Homo-oligomer: A and B are copies of this chain.
Amino acid sequence: MENLTQLFIEAGTLMLVGMVFVYTFLGLLVLIINKFLAPLAKAYPDPVLQPKRKPSTTKTLSTEGVSPSVVAAISAAVSTYRQQNKKS
């Protein structure tokens, strides 16, 4: 049983040392992020990318939200027609 007691003591110490170490390690990491990384974010912000306007590929079924090309086409067609009508 002596041996087992010895093992228990070792395991208990290991538990204690281990948890303290893990907390210390990750706690230090919290500090590092707060002290060094977060300021970096302000010093080197991400470059503002002009959001490449991807031609929207969503298909809309309602009248609202029609794609710009369609609207442009219709405006052109309608105004052309209006002018033709005026002339006549």
Contacts and interface: CB of A to CB of B under 8 A. Distances in A.
A87 B80 CA distance: 19
Interface stretch (A15-23, A32-40, A64-72): A64-72
B55 A66 contact: no
Interface of A is mostly: helix
Nearest to A73: B66
Nearest to A54: B59
Contacts of A59: 55, 67-69
A70 B74 CA distance: 9
Nearest to A58: B55
Interface string A66-88: 11111111111110011000000
A42 B77 CA distance: 49
